[in-house]
Chain A
Amino acid sequence: MVKPIILRTAGTNCDLEIEWACLKAGATPSRVHVSSITSKKVNLLDYDILIIPGGFSYGDDLGAGKVLANEIMLKFGDLIEKFREKERPIIGICNGFQVLVKAKMLPFWNKQTASLVWNDSGRFEDRWVYLRVEKSISPFFRNMPDVVRFPVAHAEGKFILKDGVSLKKLEKNKQIVLRYVDPSGEISSYPYNPNGSISSIAGVCDESGLIVGMMPHPERAVLNVHKPDWLRNNAKDGYYSGFQFLKNVIEYCL
């Protein structure tokens, strides 16, 4: 059985829906409070996948994800490093992505080359976006259509990079996993790019493809009835692409 650990703390919100989706995908997930790891009640290395879910960890005080990023790196960075060395997937969604970027785990290990900053609109926005599944080195995006729809719900989701060189490197390494596009799959402006991200980047992976972060929420696109237009195409039964993504991560560990 694949054992994902869903790391939660004060202000984590999306842990229950990820737990459910993991269960449905055949894994045995555990929701674990960060205090159980710092107090050594739970050993991170007993798990196969680390998932950092969405929410407002510690209220996003000091910037989204910053406090949890520091807590992870300063209190158990060594465990994270071992987890990575063992080539186990680390997934950050929304606030989890913000944490991974601010903990310098994405897009390049131990280098702060990117950040997630305030949306161009200056406001929190919840909307369903179209995402192009890019040809990347990450093994978690197989068996998915070219364009999928997940919702975004964030205020600080604009992905920015330190310089143009970093962008070239990401593209060359195939580290961009998802891009915001219009319904036809083309790069477009607001609201299709909901936050003004550089190069319409919605999600990236590290150089191994096993650490993945994204602003959109696959765990809210698990069932067909989660889609905002399910009544238009009458696809009411069964699973949708968000489920496929989580299934891919779990099956990778089998």
Chain B
Amino acid sequence: MAKAEKIKILDCDDNTLMEISKNGLLSLSIAEMRRIQKYFSEIGREPTDLELEMIAQTWSEHCFHKTFKSEIKYTEVLADSIPTTVEIPSLFSLIKAATDTLNKKWCISVFRDNAGIIEFDKSNCICFKVETHNHPSALEPYGGAGTGIGGVIRDILGAGLGAKPILNTDVFCFGPLNISHQEIPEGVFHPKRIFKGVVSGVRDYGNRMGIPTANGAILFDEGYLYNVLVYCGTIGIMPKWAVEKKVKPGHLIVVIGNRTGRDGIHGATFSSASLEKDIPTSVVQIGNPIIEKKVLDALMLARDEKLYSAITDCGAGGLSSAVGELSQDCGAIVHLEKVLLKYPDLKPWEVWISESQERMVLAVPPRNFSRLKEILDSEDVEYACIGNFTSTKKIEIYDEEDLVGNLDLGWIFQKGELPVLEAYFEERKTVPIMPENIDIEEVFLHLISDNVIASKELVVRQYDHEVQAHTVIKPMLGVEGIGPSDAVVLTPLYDSYRGIVVSCGINPWYGMIDPYHMAGCCIDEAMRNIVACGGDPERVSLLDNFCWGNCNDSLELGKLTRCVKGCRDFALEYGAPFISGKDSLNNFFTEQDKTIVSIPGTLLISAISVIKDVRKTMSSDFKSVGNLIYILGETKNELGGSRLFHVLNIEGGCVPKVKPEINLSVMKKLYNAINQGLVRSCHDCSEGGLIITISEMMIGSGYGAEIDIEEIPSDIKDPVAVLFSESQGRFIVEVDESCVDRFEKLFQNLPCACIGRIIPAFHLKVFSGDNQVLSVDGEEIKQKWCGALEW
């Protein structure tokens, strides 16, 4: 191994300190560099390169979430009201407050482990984590996305004492696929290349791991041309006894899985900065799913024999982060020369912070080590014991005889003086003008083939969505298996019909107008998707994943703050706690002329509900000719951020605003109706409005529909607005005539109306009283919807 070097910082002025930070790709601010300088002058020596790297990694935005932990002075200027300024202890405290207030008994371990853990049944827990892998996927789409999914799977393996992964979810935001090559900025890949690379990366990693990928979303917008977003989620199941981990002094530090190489060096610090042209691709990790599968197989055996007392994954920051976190409350001695390497001559700091994939770190009581070795050998998994935990509250790192790192754990993990951040949000009211004489049929056919709305079958089919044989409501359903599903339903245990329902909600276009209401809409959508499939709205847990632009800009931070406020308020209103979350900030690109291009602030809400019996779930395809079509929820003039406005190129307008009280009442009644067997099919209304919902239900069945929009509960008359409004809290429900009385009785005093009937001809007919508003052949709808997305 090459030798560690001393870096001279004690006598440096601010300029030189910043040069050291910049040249070393450390992404440390001047305040942080001064703090480091002070620490080392107090202990009277210069730091080593390894120590500086470890500090930079630990304090990186990616690992330390400085923005979410900082105090914020937030000024809000809403139209028609006086500006207010409040001091917020931190964004994270807002999210956590909702969970604490709701205090749900099913929340077993939230916001502290590698994943949120909730109760499944008497003896098992479910854990759920969603991560992002945006920067790597922009630079190397296939490898970046693959290691994204590989990384979040390891989060589940490292939650508690490890859970068995049973589901992967994925949500992608790409630039428009049809953009011409001339319009692609320098240093950026064409969205098509990123799209194919990302999908292939997730496919090849997830499929090889034997984990079904069965829920997600794909969005397209010009705002993601520079910075693609790749969200990867994993759900696992674990016995209740495996929830807690405990590191004790004397336990061995055992690294298992892949060897350590130079790949992914500076991943943590690099994802805390903006993207630019000519970033070295060595920052992107290289994945090998088969190694991870071997690790998974071996870990499940070792866990059940209780051979280790704590575990965590090597993710961002590599061994530095994993060993650092595990030893936080005790201490550790590490011998870097014992780490298995892919090739010789790595520098000590490279070994320490490399983000080589498929590695887990275990705390192993010495008496168990020989049995653990037997299992690892029989599963063909490589391992190395690289040191042991101590009670010194220090991390001491040796390279052979050389002490190359010796840091006080209390100091390195202490929240430093974080500056108070300024955030500013100003609501802008716009009154968009709708063009006259809109050709409804033309707009409808345009929308149904809009890539955001159109079928994602092309992608979904490339994922194995039923390996493990748990998947009961699959992503593609109906007569021909081409109808879309709102959520996925799984039975995590063989021999039991108890299940989970998993969904998501995302809509950056609402956020461009008002991030607060975007949060409400995303939560409502995720909840709707759960309920449409028969999930229980009173047993929902949420995950928040924020991807934001340049948060050094008080306007961007203002939008983020307003969004987080929305998350808190609506989580409370819906009674759905957050159990885990992650922020990925600095999703912006610095052009050569130094212009900064931020992504649209994007919130992904993932939701999970536990249900008693999966045989009482529901699908979206129409079931029988002659059955009645109902709409639940009110349709309002809410077209701001809608797909209609996108197609018509109209900016601004009123975004949908959720009415939690009514919407939640509707959801509870619908859950009840599905449980009683009063519902034959159900689909939520989201992007594109109710007419898209009905079309999708037709495609799943091969039957047609005839509806009268005058029957729709609404205060608007314009058929265009009624058909394409994206008001939240709405469902289209199919009811058999024999169940009508019982169904309608359930929804007394709630917005609920029969609007039409299922017809045998595969045709969509829309009337407004006696006038025909729209009449389209089902085959045309199907071809446009199914064939839009191209590989």
Interface of A toward B, CB cutoff 8 Å: 8, 10-14, 16-17, 20, 33, 35-36, 54-56, 58-59, 123-128, 151, 153, 217, 219-220, 222, 225-226, 228-232, 236-237
A236 engages B467 (CB within 8 Å): no
A36 to B207, CA, bound (A): 26
Give 17 A-B pairs besides A16-B468, A232-B478 with Cβ atoms closer than 8 angstroms.
A10-B294, A10-B379, A11-B208, A13-B293, A17-B469, A33-B378, A36-B378, A124-B203, A124-B207, A125-B461, A126-B461, A153-B207, A226-B466, A226-B469, A228-B478, A230-B472, A231-B477
Contact A220 B469 (CB under 8 A): yes
Complex CA gap A123/B207 in Å reads: 12
**Which of B469, B477, B618 is the one whose CB lies under 8 Å from A228?**
B477
Interface residue? B494 (CB, 8 A): yes
Q: Is the CB of B468 within 8 A of A231?
A: no
Question: Given A17-B469, A225-B472, A228-B474, are A56 and B462 also a contact pair (CB < 8 Å)?
Answer: no
The reply to whether B621 and A127 form a contact with Cβ atoms under 8 Å apart is no
Decide: A153 and B466 in contact? CB cutoff 8 A.
yes
19 A/B residue pairs, CB under 8 Å, sorted by A = A11-B293, A12-B210, A13-B468, A14-B210, A17-B494, A33-B379, A54-B467, A56-B290, A59-B208, A59-B288, A59-B289, A126-B463, A126-B464, A225-B614, A226-B466, A229-B478, A231-B618, A231-B681, A232-B479
A217 to B471, CA, bound (A): 14
Asked if A127 and B615 make an inter-chain contact with CB atoms under 8 angstroms apart, the answer reads no
Q: Which residues of B contact A226 (CB under 8 A)?
A: 466, 469, 471-472
C-alpha spacing A236/B476, complex, angstroms: 18
Q: Is the CB of A126 within 8 A of B466?
A: yes
- For chain B, residues 444 to 489, give those with C-beta under 8 angstroms from any C-beta of chain A: 461-469, 471-472, 474, 476-479, 481
Q: How far is the CB of B501 from chain A (nearest CB, A)?
A: 14
B380 interface residue (CB < 8 Å to A)? yes
Which among A20, A125, A153, A232 is the interface contact of B467 at CB below 8 angstroms? A153
Prevailing SS type, chain A contact patch: mixed
Smallest Cβ distance from B257 to chain A, in angstroms?
12
- Residue B619 lies at the interface, judged by CB distance under 8 Å to chain A: yes
The residue of chain A having its C-beta at the shortest distance from the C-beta of B622 within the complex is A232
Take A20-B494, A33-B378, A35-B378 as given contacts and tell me if A219 and B462 are in contact as well, using a CB distance cutoff of 8 Å: no
* A219 touching B615 in the complex, CB below 8 Å, given contacts A124-B207, A229-B479: no
Q: Contact between A228 and B615 (Cβ–Cβ < 8 Å)?
A: no
Contact B477 A229 (CB under 8 A): yes
> Are the C-beta atoms of B380 and A35 separated by less than 8 Å?
yes
B623 in the interface, Cβ–Cβ < 8 Å? yes
A125 to B607, CA, bound (A): 27
Is A153 within 8 A of B618, CB to CB?
no
For B715, what are the chain A residues with a Cβ–Cβ distance below 8 Å? none
A55 to B290, CA, bound (A): 10
The minimal Cβ–Cβ distance linking B472 to chain A, given in whole angstroms, is: 5
Shortest beta-carbon distance, B195 to chain A, in Å? 14
- B274-289 interface bits toward A, Cβ cutoff 8 Å, 1 = contact, 0 = none: 0000000000000011
Known A56-B290, A229-B478: A222·B615 in contact at CB below 8 Å: no
In the bound assembly, the distance between CA atoms of A153 and B463 in angstroms comes to 8
**Docked complex Cα distance between A12 and B43 (Å):** 53
Q: Interface 1/0s, chain B 611-629, versus A by CB < 8 A?
A: 0001101110101000000
**Contact in complex: B290, A58 (CB < 8 Å):** yes
Q: Is A153's CB under 8 angstroms from B464's CB?
A: yes
Q: Which of A16, A225, A237 has the most CB of B within 10 A?
A: A225
- Report the Cα distance A232→B468, complex, angstroms: 23
B442: Cβ under 8 A from any A Cβ: no
**How far, in angstroms, from A232 to B625 measured CA to CA in the complex?**
12
Complexed CA–CA distance, A8 and B203 (Å): 22
Looking across the interface, which residue of chain B has its beta carbon closest to that of A60? B208
Q: Is B11 an interface residue (CB 8 A)?
A: no
Chain A residues with Cβ under 8 A from B203's Cβ? 124
The answer for the CA separation of A247 and B621 in the assembled complex, in Å, is: 33
Task: State the 4 A-B residue pairs at the shortest beta-carbon distance, nearest first.
Answer: A13-B210, A17-B469, A20-B494, A59-B290
Nearest CB of B to A130, in Å? 11
| Residues from chain A with Cβ under 8 Å of B293 in the complex | 10-11, 13
How many chain-B residues does the 8 Å CB contact rule pick out? 44
B contact residues around A153 at 8 Å (CB) = 207, 464, 466-467
> For residue A236, which residues in chain B have a CB less than 8 angstroms away from its CB?
615
Docked pose: A197 CA to B292 CA in angstroms:
32
Which residue of chain B has the shortest Cβ distance to A17 in the bound complex? Answer: B469
B495 adjacent to chain A (CB < 8 Å):
yes
For residues 187 through 239 of chain B, which have their beta carbon under 8 Å from a beta carbon of chain A? 203, 207-210
| Chain B residues whose C-beta falls within 8 Å of the C-beta of A17 in the assembled complex | 468-469, 494
State whether B380 touches A10 (Cβ < 8 A).
yes
Q: Which residues of A contact B623 (CB under 8 A)?
A: 231-232
Q: Chain A residues near B208: list those with CB within 8 A.
A: 11, 56, 59
Residues of B within 8 A of A127 (CB): 461, 481
Question: What separation, in Å, do the CA atoms of A41 and B640 have in the docked complex?
Answer: 67
Establish whether residues A125 and B290, one from each chain, have CB atoms under 8 Å apart when the complex forms.
Answer: no
**Highest count of chain A CB atoms <10 Å: which of B290, B380, B618:** B290
Contacts of A232 in B (CB 8 A): 478-479, 621, 623
When distances are taken between beta carbons in the complex, the residues of chain A under 8 Å from B461 are 123, 125-127
**Complex: how many Å from CA A232 to CA B469?**
20
Point out which of A10, A54, A128, A231 has the most chain B C-beta atoms below 10 A from its C-beta. A231
Query: In whole Å, how far is A65's beta carbon from the nearest beta carbon of chain B?
Result: 14
Chain B: which residue is nearest A54 at the CB level? B467
- Shortest beta-carbon distance, A213 to chain B, in Å? 19
A54 to B469, CA, bound (A): 12
The residue that A220 contacts in the complex, of B209, B290, B466, with Cβ under 8 A, is B466
Q: Which residues of B contact A222 (CB under 8 A)?
A: 469
Cβ of A237 to closest chain B Cβ, rounded Å: 7
Q: Which residue of A lies closest to B489 (CB)?
A: A225
Which B59-102 residues have a C-beta within 8 angstroms of A? none
Q: With the chains together, A227 CA to B525 CA distance in Å?
A: 27
- Return chain B residues, CB-CB under 8 Å to A151: 466
Residues of chain B with a CB closer than 8 A to A230's CB = 472
Q: How far is the CB of B388 from chain A (nearest CB, A)?
A: 29
Nearest Cβ distance between residue A40 and chain B, in whole angstroms? Answer: 13
How distant is B167 from chain A, measured CB to nearest CB, in Å? 14
On whether the beta carbons of B467 and A13 are closer than 8 Å, the reply is: yes
With beta carbons under 8 angstroms apart, the residue of A14, A55, A128, A225 that contacts B481 is A128
CB contacts (< 8 Å) of B464 on chain A: these are 124, 126, 153
Across the interface, name the chain A residue whose C-beta is closest to B616.
Answer: A236
- A224 CB, min distance to chain B CBs, angstroms: 9
Choose from B210, B462, B472, B476 the contact partner of A123 (Cβ within 8 Å).
Answer: B462
**Which residues of chain A come closer than 8 Å to B476, judged between CB atoms?**
228
Render B669-681 as a binary contact track against A, CB cut-off 8 A, 1 for contact: 0000000000001
Q: Within B95-137, which residues are at the interface with A (CB < 8 Å)? A: none
The answer for the CA separation of A220 and B462 in the assembled complex, in Å, is 17
Closest chain-A Cβ to B45's Cβ sits at a distance in Å of 47
Which of chain A's residues have a CB closer than 8 A to the CB of B462?
123-126
A226–B469 alpha-carbon span in the complex (Å): 7
**Which residue of chain A has the shortest Cβ distance to B480 in the bound complex?**
A191
Q: Which of B415-464 contact A (CB under 8 A)?
A: 461-464
Contact of B290 among A11, A54, A124 (CB under 8 A): A11
In the assembled complex, the Cα of A210 lies from the Cα of B673 at a distance in Å of: 50
CA distance A219 to B469 in the complex (A): 7
Query: Which residue on chain B has the smallest CB distance to residue A56?
Result: B208
Task: Give the CA-CA distance A226 to B461 in the complex, in Å.
Answer: 17
* 8 A Cβ contacts from B486-500 to A: 491, 494-495, 497
A-chain residues with CB within 8 Å of residue B618 when the two chains form the complex? 231
| A123-B462, A219-B469 as given contacts; A56 in contact with B614, CB under 8 Å | no
A126-B464, A225-B472 given; A20·B210 CB < 8 A: no
List, in ascending order, chain B residues with CB within 8 A of A11's CB.
208, 290, 293
Name which residue of chain A comes closest to B681, CB basis: A231
A35 to B465, CA, bound (A): 29
> A237 vs B207: C-alpha distance in the bound complex, in angstroms?
29
Interface pair A14/B467, CB less than 8 Å apart: yes
Chain A: which residue is nearest B214 at the CB level? A126
